[in-house]
Structure 1
Amino acid sequence: MTGAAPGDGTPPFATLRQVLAHDEDGILHLVLAPSGQDTAVHGVVIGEEDAPRPYDCHIVLATGVRPGTGAAPDAVREAARRGAVAVVLRGGGEDALPDTVLTAARESGVALLTRAEWAEWGDTLELVRSALALGAVGSEDRLAQAAAGGGLAVLASVVARYCRASITVEDTQFRVVAHSATSADADGLRQSTILGGRVPDWRVAELRRSGLLRALWTSRDVIHRPADRTDPERLVVAIRSGGEVLGSMWAAADGGQLSPDAPDVLRRASEVAVPYLLQHRLRGSAGRRRQEHALRGLLLGEGDRRSHMWSLELAPDVPCAVVVAERDRAVGPAAERSLQALALQAVAHRATARVWRENHRLTVLLPLPDGDPRDALGLARELDSLAAAMPDAPAIRVGAGTPADTPAGAAASYEEALLIVRALRAREARAVPADRAAASDGGAGLRSPVRHAGPGDVGQTVAVLRVLDAIRPLWERDGGPVHDMVASDLAAGGELVRSLRAYLDAAGDMSRAARHLVLHPNTLRYRLRRVRERFGIDLDDPDTRLVVTLALRLAETEGGPET
Structure 2
Amino acid sequence: MTPGTTGNAPDHVTLRQILAHDEDGVLRLLHAPAGQDVTVHGVIIGEEGSARPYDGRIVLAAGPAPDPAAVREAARRGAAAVVLREPEGAPVPAEALDAADECGIALLARAEWADWGDTLALLRSATAFASAGRAGLLADDVADGGLAALATATARSCRGSITVEDTRFRVLAHSATGPGADGVRLSTILGGRVPDRRVAELRRSGLLHALWTSQDVIHRAADGDSPERLVVAVRSGGEMLGSLWAAADGRRLSPDAAAVLRRAAALAVPHLLRHRLRESGTARREAHALRGLLHGDGDRHAHLWSLGLPPDTPCAVVVAVRGDTEEAGADRTLEALAIQATASRSVARALREQDQVAVLLPVSDDADDRREALALARELDALAAGIPGTAPVWIGAGQTVRSGLDAPLSYAKALQVVRALREREARGRDPRPVRHAGAGDVGPTIDALHMLDAVRPVWEAGAGPVHELIRADLATGGDLVRSLAAYLETAGDVPRAARRLTLHPNTLRYRLRRVRERFGLDLDDPDTRLVLALAVRLTGVI
TM-score (norm 1): 0.88
Counterpart CA distance in 1 for 2:350 and 2:487 is: 43
Q: Does the 8 Å CA contact 2:232/2:261 hold for their aligned counterparts?
A: yes
Show CA shifts across 1:390-430 (max 9, x none): 22232222111110111111111111111111111111111
Q: Are residues 92 and 536 of structure 1, via their aligned partners in 2, closer, same or farther at CA, if it must alter by over 3 Å?
A: same
Q: Are residues 93 and 304 of structure 1, via their aligned partners in 2, closer, same or farther at CA, if it must alter by over 3 Å?
A: closer
* Matched AA of 1:274: V
Counterpart CA distance in 2 for 1:181 and 1:494 is: 77
For the pair 1:337 / 2:319, whether they are aligned, the reply is no
Query: Counterpart in 1 of 2:3?
Result: none
Show CA shifts across 1:346-382 (max 9, x none): 1223211111111111111111135331111111111
* Matched AA of 2:455: I
Query: Counterpart in 1 of 2:242?
Result: 247
Q: Are residues 406 and 224 of structure 1, via their aligned partners in 2, closer, same or farther at CA, if it must alter by over 3 Å?
A: same
Which runs of 5 or more structure 2 residues have no equivalent in the other structure? 1-7
Q: Does the 8 Å CA contact 1:383/1:398 hold for their aligned counterparts?
A: yes
Query: Counterpart in 2 of 1:191?
Result: 186
User: How far has the Cα of 1:528 moved from its partner?
Assistant: 3.3
Show CA shifts across 1:33-71 (max 9, x none): 12221112222222221344332222111223312xxxx
Structure 1 counterpart of 2:135, from 140, 144, 150: 140
For the pair 1:417 / 2:414, whether they are aligned, the reply is yes
Between stretches 408-417 and 345-354, larger displacement belongs to 345-354
Secondary structure (helix, strand or coil) at the match of 2:329 reads: helix
Q: Does the 8 Å CA contact 2:158/2:253 hold for their aligned counterparts?
A: yes
Counterpart CA distance in 2 for 1:288 and 1:31 is: 25
Secondary structure (helix, strand or coil) at the match of 2:99 reads: helix
Secondary structure (helix, strand or coil) at the match of 2:243 reads: strand
For the pair 1:392 / 2:389, whether they are aligned, the reply is yes
Q: Does the 8 Å CA contact 1:92/1:114 hold for their aligned counterparts?
A: no
Query: Counterpart in 2 of 1:41?
Result: 40
Show CA shifts across 1:320-340 (max 9, x none): 111111122223442122122
Show CA shifts across 1:264-323 (max 9, x none): 211111111111111111111111111111111112111111111100100121111111
Percent identity of equivalent pairs:
63
Secondary structure (helix, strand or coil) at the match of 1:365 reads: strand
Counterpart CA distance in 2 for 1:486 and 1:163 is: 84
Show CA shifts across 1:519-543 (max 9, x none): 1123223333444555555433322
For the pair 1:525 / 2:522, whether they are aligned, the reply is no
Counterpart CA distance in 1 for 2:9 and 2:27 is: 26
Counterpart CA distance in 2 for 1:147 and 1:472 is: 70
Show CA shifts across 1:244-263 (max 9, x none): 11111111112221112211
- Mapping 1:124-273, distance limit 5 Å: 124-141=119-136, 143-145=138-140, 147-273=142-268
Query: Counterpart in 1 of 2:483?
Result: 499
Structure 1 counterpart of 2:299, from 304, 314, 319: 304
Counterpart CA distance in 2 for 1:505 and 1:548 is: 11
Query: Counterpart in 2 of 1:85?
Result: 80
Query: Counterpart in 1 of 2:438?
Result: 454
Query: Counterpart in 2 of 1:295?
Result: 290
Secondary structure (helix, strand or coil) at the match of 2:439 reads: coil
Counterpart CA distance in 2 for 1:142 and 1:538 is: 96
Query: Counterpart in 2 of 1:354?
Result: 349
Q: Does the 8 Å CA contact 2:9/2:127 hold for their aligned counterparts?
A: no
Query: Counterpart in 2 of 1:5?
Result: none
Secondary structure (helix, strand or coil) at the match of 1:363 reads: strand
Q: Are residues 208 and 543 of structure 1, via their aligned partners in 2, closer, same or farther at CA, if it must alter by over 3 Å?
A: same
Q: Are residues 270 and 536 of structure 1, via their aligned partners in 2, closer, same or farther at CA, if it must alter by over 3 Å?
A: farther
TM-score (norm 2): 0.92
Secondary structure (helix, strand or coil) at the match of 1:158 reads: helix
Q: Does the 8 Å CA contact 1:65/1:89 hold for their aligned counterparts?
A: no
Structure 1 counterpart of 2:273, from 264, 271, 278: 278
Secondary structure (helix, strand or coil) at the match of 1:149 reads: coil
Show CA shifts across 1:461-496 (max 9, x none): 122222223333444455665456545544554333
Q: Does the 8 Å CA contact 2:327/2:390 hold for their aligned counterparts?
A: no
Q: Are residues 510 and 214 of structure 1, via their aligned partners in 2, closer, same or farther at CA, if it must alter by over 3 Å?
A: same
How many pairs were matched up? 533
Query: Counterpart in 2 of 1:428?
Result: 425
User: How far has the Cα of 1:173 moved from its partner?
Assistant: 2.4
Q: Does the 8 Å CA contact 2:11/2:40 hold for their aligned counterparts?
A: no
Q: Does the 8 Å CA contact 2:216/2:232 hold for their aligned counterparts?
A: yes
Q: Are residues 59 and 544 of structure 1, via their aligned partners in 2, closer, same or farther at CA, if it must alter by over 3 Å?
A: farther
Q: Does the 8 Å CA contact 1:12/1:132 hold for their aligned counterparts?
A: no
Which runs of 5 or more structure 1 residues have no equivalent in the other structure? 1-8, 435-446, 559-563
For the pair 1:21 / 2:20, whether they are aligned, the reply is yes
User: How far has the Cα of 1:139 moved from its partner?
Assistant: 2.1
Secondary structure (helix, strand or coil) at the match of 2:351 reads: strand
